Structure 1
């Protein structure tokens, strides 16, 4: 391989560091109407009266929408393939508001000052209702959604009157018998908090009508094709009348897998015919978008005295907040992509319910439910190791999935069950654990070392897996066009959200075609111009879109050979293409690709060579990771510092090792925030207490000490050039490894994240 598996700098790297990329707000027309959203101050209330008369008289106000003058059609904002598994429980505006920050009115004016002034003049009367803020009491409380015109497309266990958004349940084997045969049984309850995504660029969108009176929406989104479908549903207009364009994105981490800001300027443009834009403030991002789902899980594990795990039973409650976006899918991932780690169990069971509350909606966040599930399972396995007086590394070596093995559970819960078993032929989890143990110096540091009378250090570890796209569900396509000077245009629906996927996918195309990267010009994410792609989620871009590119490249090579045969007036089997020239073997004639493309365009065959390839994953290709943490605990204050974190990852063959390592580092840092700092806090009335970066604490570079990243040399035969995903698996091991390291250091077991100094100190 010449280009793949090379640490090529980002193709837009210099533009990034010099501030040249054009983000959504940079591109918006200067005369665009500015849109503002009046948001609810109450966690749960019914609007009894709303008066916009004074606000509408403010000079420069273009229009104001309330629930009284906007279309009422249920939809979901979740960016998922159709039919969505999320309930259609959202309206453009509604008489009920279900969380602090929910939409009350939409205002458009000539500038921000005017829009803000008008927004303050809207008079709203509320009948304030008792909010549901306790997840455990949601099922027995009054409905968060009293309206009867919401629904689901599929049976997911939805029960509006009991605030139940979705249910997940599956099991394998005789659980009760396996528990009876176990020598040791532990049962624990763990809780994880809501976590905010904290990307640099807030949600932003602008819209206008093109020359054909079609609605064009330019948005900072991970899901342009889903946004088009969602807008068509919400606005009740044909998808053919909508074009969605994704420019450069300043991060998403899953928050932009939910449609948010696109509706408001679209409504205004359709009403006024004028361009309109909205850019969320940071407070709006916290209050008006979504966060990671908070959850409570009870887990029971049974094992033999020798360390064989015989039974695992997980039962969870999922706080999906005011709307059910991503509830079922994240909850299901907490079981399906977690329990499969331990494939030698005699029996396992997973059950869970997702409930409405009056919190900010839960949504997609890097790890997508697996992060919560891994915290529960790996924390429990670490506790089991202590019960058995066994090294937790040894316990995992006995029980974890290994190369060439399968798991009945994975085959059962994956769509397409009944087919031949799926063997994890590329699994290098054993190598990850062995190497991570060496890098952290486990044998010398486990379980603890004393630094002084007041400071102690401990080490902990965890393992994880994720997915590489969604088998038999998500699809990506790629279009290649040969231009008249011998270069190619690559059209992709995939969305680069800061990961460098534009670079990685261009590398794959160049490798497949046998050309240099500068011979490929890549365009991405325009629903009118680029082929369909499910979006930047589910760790799918490199794996799924990469395979689509290879399919397109193979078709392009065959088309060049076929056209070359016409040019040389010979049979196709006589033609060779090496990326730079086309050769006729029987005559010895050859022509450069540049000359060939000019001749077939202008003077001879008169053909435009263009092909489209597509790919849908058929088999699971999970990446794996072993994470090892060393922490220092201050016994006087309870403060925990992560001294060292080792992440060893099996992502198959990395297309771009440097970008892959950066993904690992970023995921570990986010995981440290999840473990120690970050928490979305509410008052007893349901108002967010930390809705700016002044109050919401995320780790910065000054908080991070040593991070060691290593990629084991792997290869997956189903991946593009052996690659698997890496984007999400890298966050999952951090919290359970850190909390076990805390326990090993000072005997404090944190079962409710984050592990703040207060919690540690109180237990000490």
Structure 2
């Protein structure tokens, strides 16, 4: 096996005027050195999304221009990592430094340097103005709506660069099979998208590439990116040798992907009675050096938040997504919604005080309910027009009531409970998300019956620690009357399993699971047909499939699944009982949540300590309550990090100064408050067995919930996250009229 190491750019923006790899190539054990000079110049996107990808094509395997500190310059494939690392140091590069854009607001200035001027670029909105994407959606007449409002309020909020930090960094192994095809084993959320994009990068047919996703150590969106696979596969293609490319933790921070930082301006108009009348939302999103997920994440910021407050007849959503010379932004759990709710739910809280209603009353008066819709659903999809949705299951009021009771809202809200320098407060937020991308996401599954009554399930869904393989086995077991352990699950192999878009958009259960259900329903009919022949039963309606047997309600006779399998394979009308099913949904039924937090603010130090966190969730039918509670708690933990501690710190050259766990603080178990997950079941007609999504929605809540609790405790609003002690102290001193530097 060859080991690959990447030479990274030390500059945020520069042209490579000369690159000399000759000395590196002479190092014993070095087999290949790659640069823009000897690799395919096939423009592509690294975003693992359905074809045609809505993200701009603005990336090459290697380019003669670098666009952020950490961008790819060259790669060495050698007999060991140590040899490869030694050779990297011998590559001589002469750069011509260019002026860099290190802030999103600077990218739109008239004299801003152009980051992408390559003639091959496709799909970017206006690269000459550093605009990767632009969105402009209007419902009603927003200006008129504000004029008609009794109370108008405008606020701006800003979220920061954060990284997904999966346990396992990006890693891939590639090799040639006995037919000369490239096989890639990779830590990915999107094996079928990897296959398509790697084939595009290398300029070879899709049929020459096989992608296998083994058990992996998490993803959270950053593995929805084709980051390491193309280079790894190209090394194998050129050398005939197996190859391995593993990112260091520093590379994972800087050179994979991050969450899009956003600056969001909310303008709300309301009537005297508290009814929202007009909403304007402007998003300035920083996609970094390349436009991965640029359009779709920004779209999601509006489409997943604005329909929650559907009573306002006048709504405007505008977004500019800009290129900068900073690390690449991409997919991250919540996919634009956490940034949006950071703004929306703080603005809603602030408006509740303006109109004289409690935060609870104001939300109850204005949130969407069962039977209603929002024009935003149709106007704003993920990068294209959406689909009209009507809410058919929503337990928001019950979620609010249960959350209030658990947190002790009535006894704590507005009470400013003090213990010396420490003051406690409570805050809340309500949330919605989606379950898949309607009429775009598709998954498929194949199921077959074995002689002993077990089943082989082959499906394209991607379990990255979410429990999707377990859920899929449960769906088969529930449908066919067997135990989950009788279902042998094999997933995510582009040669052997049917197509699936992959693990994103909270689509696992509704799309992958829906395909599994459809396959199981088809195979059930085949099983009953054979059983009817064996039992000499004319009335198919009298047969039931349960406990591993088909029973006749008319005669009481039964046959086991094992006997049915033997009959079909060896006795009569010989055939394999097997079926395939696909799933694409015209609906994206939203899960709903109500979050409540109690925090303690130390006025002497500025430290904010979450004391208790309550997350009440309506996810339809709870197929696996233990997995659901794990998903809730994991999302809340990530959200607390987003709210309080996590952020990239850049120096004035655009270099990330804290690319490691020593200086980038993710919460540990010691930092966690008491987390109380509450599941309120509804039945969603569009879901599998009445279920809705779980994985992303609870990431959206902690930042605004904690922000609102800080305000309840000490009366300060911090418009830019995270809420570090320094920012809290500065705001407290400003409130007290003290001068701060």
The counterpart of 1:477, out of the listed 431, 436, 444, is 444
Which of 344, 353, 358 is 1:377 aligned to? 344
State the secondary structure of the residue aligned to 2:397. helix
CA distance in 1 between partners of 2:680 and 2:317 (Å)? 31
- Number of matched pairs: 728
- The match for 1:396 is 363
- Match 2:414 to one of 427, 437, 447: 447
**Alignment partner, residue 98 of structure 1:** 67
Q: What pairs up with 1:50-89 in 2 under 5 angstroms?
A: 50-89=19-58
* Equivalent of 1:522 in 483, 489, 496: 489
Shift of 1:450: 2.9
1:187 has 2:154 as partner: yes
User: Could you give the per-residue CA deviations for residues 288-307 of structure 1, whole angstroms, max 9, x where no partner exists?
Assistant: 10100001111110011211
Which residue of 704, 720, 731 corresponds with 2:699? 731
Q: 2:91: which partner in 1?
A: 122
1:127-146 matches, cutoff 5 A: 127-140=96-109, 141-146=112-117
- Superposed, 1:13-52 pairs within 5 Å as 32-52=1-21
Name which of 354, 368, 393 aligns with 1:387.
354
2:120 match: 149
Contact 1:382–1:392 under 8 Å retained in 2:
yes
Contact persistence 1:638–1:759 (CA under 8 A): yes
- Compared with structure 1, are the counterparts of its residues 674 and 585 closer, same or farther at alpha carbon in structure 2 (3 Å cutoff)? closer
Instruction: State the partner residue of 1:681.
Output: 649
Deviation by residue 1:343-392 (Cα, 9 ceiling, x = unmatched): 11021100001000011110000110011111111111111112223211
Gaps of 5+ in 1: 1-31
8 Å contact 2:531–2:559 — kept in the other structure?
A: no
Residue 475 (structure 2) aligns with: 508
In structure 2, the residue matched to 1:9 is none
Query: Are 1:653 and 2:621 counterparts?
Result: yes
SS in 1 for 2:195: helix
**CA separation in 1, counterparts of 2:587 and 2:409?**
35
Matches of 1:469 and 1:541, distance apart in 2: 8
Shift of 1:569: 6.6
CA contact 2:371–2:390 (8 Å) conserved in 1 = yes
Residue 313 (1) aligns with residue 277 (2): no
Are 1:564 and 1:575, in contact at CA under 8 Å, matched by a contact in 2?
Answer: no
* Matches of 2:265 and 2:559, distance apart in 1: 68
Cα distance in 1 for residues equivalent to 2:381 and 2:103? 33
1:137 shift after superposition:
1.4
Alignment of 1:2-17 (within 5 A): none
| Comparing 216-225 and 508-517, the one that deviates more | 508-517
| 1:626 and 2:597 matched | no
For the residues of structure 1 that align with 2:529 and 2:562, how far apart are their CA atoms?
17
Structure-1 separation of matches of 2:163 and 2:678: 28
Check the 8 A contact 2:158/2:262 in 1, yes or no.
Answer: yes
Spell out, residue by residue over 1:638-681, the C-alpha distance to the aligned partner (whole angstroms, 9 max, x if none): 11101111110110111100110111111111111101100012
Deviation sequence 1:44-72 (CA, Å, 0-9, x none): 11111111111111111111111001110
Q: In the alignment, is residue 360 of structure 1 matched against residue 327 of structure 2? A: yes
Looking at structure 2, the residues matched to 398 and 582 of structure 1 have their Cα atoms a distance apart, in angstroms, of: 52
How far is the alpha carbon of 1:196 from its aligned partner? Answer: 0.5
Q: List aligned pairs for 1:264-663, cutoff 5 A.
A: 264-413=231-380, 422-567=389-534, 571=538, 573=540, 576-579=543-546, 580-583=548-551, 590-663=558-631
The structural deviation recorded for 1:744 is: 1.5
Distance 1:586 1:701, change over 3 A: closer
Of residues 74-83 and 167-176 in structure 1, the stretch that sits farther from structure 2 once superposed is 167-176
Query: Does the residue aligned with 1:755 lie in a helix, a strand or coil?
Result: coil
CA offsets 1:402-452 (integer angstroms, 9 cap, x no match): 222222332443599898x63212011111111111111111101242322
Q: Which residue number in structure 2 is paired with residue 5 of structure 1?
A: none
User: 8 Å contact 1:439–1:646 — kept in the other structure?
Assistant: yes
Deviations 1:159-193 (Å, cap 9, x if unpaired)?
Answer: 11111001111111121111111111111111000
Checking the alignment, whether the CA contact within 8 Å between 1:494 and 1:545 is kept in structure 2 is: yes
Distance 2:403 2:93 in 1: 58
Q: Distance in 2 between matches of 1:59 and 1:260?
A: 28
Match of 2:164, SS state, is coil
* In 2, Cα distance between equivalents of 1:128 and 1:77: 25
Find the residue that maps to 2:611 and give its secondary structure. Answer: strand
CA contact (8 A) 1:462 1:733 kept: yes
Deviates more, 1:579-588 or 1:710-719: 579-588
What residue number does 2:735 align with?
Answer: none
Distance 2:270 2:65 in 1: 50
**Residue 254 of structure 1 aligns with which residue?**
221
TM-score, normalised relative to structure 1: 0.93
- The 1:592/1:457 distance shift into structure 2, 3 A limit, reads same
Name which of structure 1's ranges 728-737 and 586-595 shifts more when overlaid on structure 2: 586-595
> Aligned with 2:301: secondary structure?
helix
Native 8 Å contact 1:295 1:372 kept in 2: yes
Q: Which runs of 5+ in 2 are unaligned?
A: 733-741
Separation in structure 2 between the aligned mates of residue 417 and residue 681 of structure 1, nearest angstrom = 37
Distance in structure 2 (CA, Å) of the matches to 1:570 and 1:305: 70
Structure 1 match to 2:128:
161
CA spacing shift, 1:560–1:757, aligned 2, 3 Å: same
Distance in 1 between residues matched to 2:483 and 2:419, nearest whole Å: 57
Give secondary structure in 2 for the equivalent of 1:255.
coil
Structure-2 residue corresponding to 1:224 = 191
Alignment root-mean-square deviation, CA: 1.7
Q: Is the 8 A contact 1:38 1:106 kept in 2?
A: yes
